[in-house]
Amino acid sequence: MTVYVTDPKYNYEDVIDLITPLSNLAHLKEYQRRLKHKLSAIRYHSDSFKKEEDDWIERYKTSIVGGESCNVVEDNPKIIYEVEAFLFQVKSCLDVLNQLIRVAFKLPYGRSVL
């Protein structure tokens, strides 16, 4: 028996609402769990990015005084890492969604040429 537990802090109701209509399809349970996980990860990285971006903007609002001019470019690695993680999760989510659709509609896994 496998029990999956998620920290409630990372349960997003809008994600759960998306998956709920599939809950009566027993043969798709594992794909549903994986899709919920991926959608939650996308949401998590999106929220983390927004928070870091807001903090970064606030930092500039309080540190730059009117009339100043500068040519310094400063990277925020956390913002870069969150965007990368977000994009990786989007790709992974599409992979899981593809698997779910193929199983649900009994589609072959081979590539077809149109």
Q: Is residue 47 part of a domain?
A: yes
What is the total count of domains within the chain? 1
Residue 58 has pLDDT above 80, yes or no: yes
Q: How big is the CA angle at 20 (ends 111 and 28), to the nearest 5 degrees?
A: 40
Residue 45 has pLDDT above 80, yes or no: yes
pLDDT, mean over the chain: 83
Q: Is residue 13 part of a domain?
A: no
Whole-structure pTM value: 0.76
pLDDT band at 66 (very low <50, low <70, confident <90, very high): low
Q: Is residue 101 part of a domain?
A: yes
Q: Is residue 40 part of a domain?
A: yes
Contact 40, 12 (CB under 8 A): yes
For the four alpha carbons of 59, 62, 65 and 66, in that order, the dihedral sign comes to positive
Q: Is residue 33 part of a domain?
A: yes
Q: Is residue 48 part of a domain?
A: yes
Quote the CA–CA distance of 51 and 58 in Å, as a whole number: 11
The domain in which residue 92 lies consists of: 28-65+77-106
pLDDT band at 87 (very low <50, low <70, confident <90, very high): very high
CATH of the domain at 54: 1.10.287
